[in-house]
Structure 1
Amino acid sequence: MTKPTQALCFDVFGTVTDWYGSILKEAQSLPQTRQLNIPWDAFILKWRRDGYLASLKKIVAGEMDLMATAEINKRKLLELLQEYDIQGLSPGEIDHFNLSWNRLEAWEDVVAGLHQLKEDFLIMPFSNGDYRCLLDISKRNNLPWDGIISADFFKKIKPDPTIYKEAIDLLQMAPENVMMVACHAHDLNAAKKAGMKTAYVNRPLEFGGHDAADAVKAAYDIEATDFVDLARQLKETKL
């Protein structure tokens, strides 16, 4: 008999937060760039894809040391400021812009959905974001987590196959007691291989409506349109 779900672990960047919309808003508010014709769309996608995501792949492959989220992002930001000839930002303004990733806004359904899910489950982020970044995002959005699991704890990152087992062990549960919730197939596929239950939440605007390279979707326990729909389905299915 399948063990009941007791805890839900959430991807944060894309699943919980609208990183593209949040960063675009911060970029467009920079006073030094308002008179410049900056293609922010391309800038932000490069910052995410060619900076953070590319660095994560190198870390998983052992080609790069694990480092804080802000440090990874700043390395790429400095390159992009040169590439797009953005001048006049002070070091403090650059640091503030870089930390816009710590100020990401949640999707509209998230807070209401999490409060519903919290009635029946332990809920927490399980993210490659560093602990401080997850704290800042959680506080900014008043997210009602029961705790936080950061890749910081394990000195490795998803989708390393061993990190899911270590997160499960941290919760002192069986894999079937824990459900991974994400909008990314690569994350869910790895969690499924580790024995976790899986819930896919569709976020078509994660990359601002642009296509995003991801793994091929597998069969997941639940496919939901948002967190409120996820809460409804979990109540109905009693997984």
Structure 2
Amino acid sequence: MTHPIEIKALVFDVFGTVVDWRNGVASHTAAFLQRHAPNLDAFEFADAWRREYSPSMEEIRSARRPYVRLDVLHRENLLKVLERSGITGVADAEIDALNLAWHHLDPWPEVVEALGRLKRRFIIAPLSNGNIRLMVDMAKRAGLPWDAILGAEVVRAYKPSPQVYSETVDILALEPAELCLVAAHNSDLAAARRQGLSTAFVLRPTEHGAQQKTDLAAEQAWDFVVNDLNELANRLGC
């Protein structure tokens, strides 16, 4: 287990760990669906959109495609979901506006308070697959008090590619164990651990809705296992 004094910075997975993407995307798509496909469920639409997330990034992780930012992938994925849903004839401007749903997600209830506590002692930053503008818009709207915006667009690679973690360590001028990844996803933490980072698992049992079947428990002996970010702040003496 990592002693808290060894940690100098905390970086956070964002979608699911810091913000509630599913309720947020469903909320932002509800009015759109009411206009164009009133029989479609907004949560099912959000889930379908999210299912395209990892496959689209795999094209870049595998080097079959050069890096493009997540906003581009989200829009391409949205077009796929619209086509499969039989929604046609939507103006480009309306598609662009809908794609911004990911910029306007709400944090989980304790997040802003907990980040404020952690910021007093540690460098805190997102380590997200979301691009810089997306992270900035989200932070300004939700009051997320980041010290920096780090992640995929900074290193031009998508998690869980090793360089996302190793290059972030270098950017912050730290030793790997001095940087702790905070995430609700065991796979993200496993990739970070392989690069020597410290790890903190935070439980988000409804990220995918009430019937969630993944990431309901820590799958390894992570350095910290907590129920929310305030508990992590307590464990770190903040």
Q: Same fold (TM over 0.5)?
A: yes
Structure 1 residue 220 and structure 2 residue 213: aligned? no
| 1:1-239 → structure 2 map (5 Å cutoff) | 4-30=6-32, 32-33=34-35, 36-49=38-51, 51-87=52-88, 89-211=90-212, 217-235=219-237
Q: Which moved more, 1:56-65 or 1:167-176?
A: 56-65
Deviation at 1:82, TM superposition (A): 2.2
* TM-score, normalization by structure 1: 0.90
Contact 2:71 2:130 in 1 (8 A): no
Structure 1 SS opposite 2:182: strand
Contact 2:203 2:228 in 1 (8 A): yes
- 1:45 and 1:63 map into 2 onto residues whose CA distance is 25
- 1:196 and 1:24 map into 2 onto residues whose CA distance is 34
The letter of the residue matching 1:129 is: G
- 1:185 and 1:35 map into 2 onto residues whose CA distance is 36
The letter of the residue matching 1:18 is: D
Q: Deviations over 1:29-80 (max 9, x none)?
A: 227538711033322112111x222112222122333212111111121122
Which stretches in structure 2 are left out of the alignment for 5+ residues?
Answer: none
Structure 2 SS opposite 1:23: helix
The letter of the residue matching 1:28 is: A
Structure 2 SS opposite 1:29: helix
- 2:64 and 2:201 map into 1 onto residues whose CA distance is 30
Paired residues, number: 235
The letter of the residue matching 2:58 is: K
Q: Deviations over 1:116-140 (max 9, x none)?
A: 1112111111111111111111111
Deviation at 1:150, TM superposition (A): 2.3
* TM-score, normalization by structure 2: 0.91
Q: Deviations over 1:65-124 (max 9, x none)?
A: 321211111112112222222346432111111111111111111101101111211111
Contact 1:123 1:145 in 2 (8 A): yes
Residues 23/169 of structure 1: CA separation in 2 closer, same or farther (3 Å cut): same
Deviation at 1:151, TM superposition (A): 1.2
